[in-house]
Amino acid sequence: MNKQELKGNWNVLKGKLKKKYGDLTDDDLTYVEGQEDELYGKLQKKMGKTREEVAAEIKALTE
């Protein structure tokens, strides 16, 4: 998923991620343009997954 797709779908994805991973907060899921790496890092810590696994999870939620 590229940055534009991530940005465009983020509000929908946020809800899906919070539903699946109840311990994620709004602060964890704050999307700031240009700081995708920081967002992935937060998600990696909370989800206990690698960046690639987090990216795959996000991609799966958009399909």
The per-residue DSSP string of 47-59 comes to HT--HHHHHHHHH
pTM of the predicted model over 0.95 = no
In CATH terms, the fold of domain 3-62 is Protein Yjbj; Chain: A; (1.10.1470)
If 0-12 CB within 10 Å is exposed, 13-18 middle and 19+ buried, where does residue 16 land? middle
Would you kindly state where each structural domain of the chain is located, as residue ranges? 3-62
SS3 18: helix
Q: For 52-61, how does the pLDDT look when each residue is reduced to its tens digit (9 = 90+)?
A: 999 899 888 8
Give burial (CB, 10 Å; 0-12/13-18/19+) of 28. Answer: middle
According to DSSP, residue 63 is labeled: -
Categorize the per-residue pLDDT at 1 as very low, low, confident or very high, splitting at 50, 70 and 90.
low
